[in-house]
Amino acid sequence: MPRRFLVRATLIFAALLPLWWCLLRMPLLDWVQFSTEALLESLPGVHAPTGVSIETGRLWNLQVPIPEGRSIHIRAEERVATVPTIALPLFWAVLLAAPGSWRPWSWRSLPWQKLRALAIGSAILLVLPAVCVLVYAAHVVQVNLYPAAAPSLRFALKFADYLNTVVPYCLPILLALLLDPGLRALVLSAPPAAAPPAAIPPAARKPAAARK
């Protein structure tokens, strides 16, 4: 992978991080609260009250359904909803650092294909935080209320909750590779084959004993 691309992606990501933390984090958390509530309400067969509220100290109160038509309140730290949102600036940095005819100081110079990739990837990543929050809640419910659940279910929820710490950093890169042909060609193309060593002319080959 060319060093220039890695340096460019690192610099863009470093520039986007303060923007994400200072300007985008709170609107994104509002979106996570709204989308998580919408996802809870759309779960099939759920008749218990559900919702997401934010308490004093930025603690998230998740009211999630459990069997027998009941619901339970779970308190989660704000980082549970914040960490998945870092996928957006990481995706933007990787995609903007990919090969393409654009100038960083002029967004109007972005090609239509790259704008389309930015829109599609961002829309997919906006769904990610709500899914991560619900996976976390499901794991908490299983650990505290159903510790004797089937081993396969316990493993699946524990592994899914572990993926919450991995997916926000891996999925943006995979999406960028999927949506940007130029980046895909840059990363996945085979390195050029090494040139074979030059042949030594017969006249230059002399027996060692003949050299004085």
pLDDT at 114: 83
Within a domain: 58: no
Does residue 109 lie within any of the structural domains? yes
Q: What is the pLDDT of residue 2?
A: 79
pLDDT for 83 equals 96
Q: Which domain holds residue 15?
A: 3-45+81-187
**Domain count of the fold of the chain:** 1
Q: Where are the alpha helices (DSSP H) in the chain?
A: 3-19, 25-41, 79-82, 87-97, 112-145, 151-163, 167-179, 181-188
Asked, for residue 206, whether it belongs to a domain, the answer is: no
Q: Is residue 55 part of a domain?
A: no
Decide if 57 is inside a domain: no
Give the model's pLDDT for residue 184.
Answer: 87
- pLDDT of 111 reads 77
Amino acid at 27: P
- Position 149 scores a pLDDT of 94
Within a domain: 135 = yes
Closest Cα to residue 134, out of 16, 50, 192, 27? 50
Q: Which of 79, 65, 90, 76 is nearest to 12 (CA)?
A: 90
pLDDT at 200: 61
Give a yes or no: residue 73 inside a domain. no
Q: Which pLDDT score is estimated for 112?
A: 80
What integer pLDDT is reported at residue 145 of this predicted model? 94
Mean pLDDT, consecutive 10-residue stretches, the chain (212 aa), reads: 85 96 96 96 89 91 92 95 97 88 54 87 97 97 95 96 96 95 81 59 57 50
Per-residue pLDDT at 56:
84
Whether 180 is covered by a domain: the verdict is: yes
Q: Which residue has the tokens 């930015």?
A: 118
Secondary structure (3-state) at 62: strand
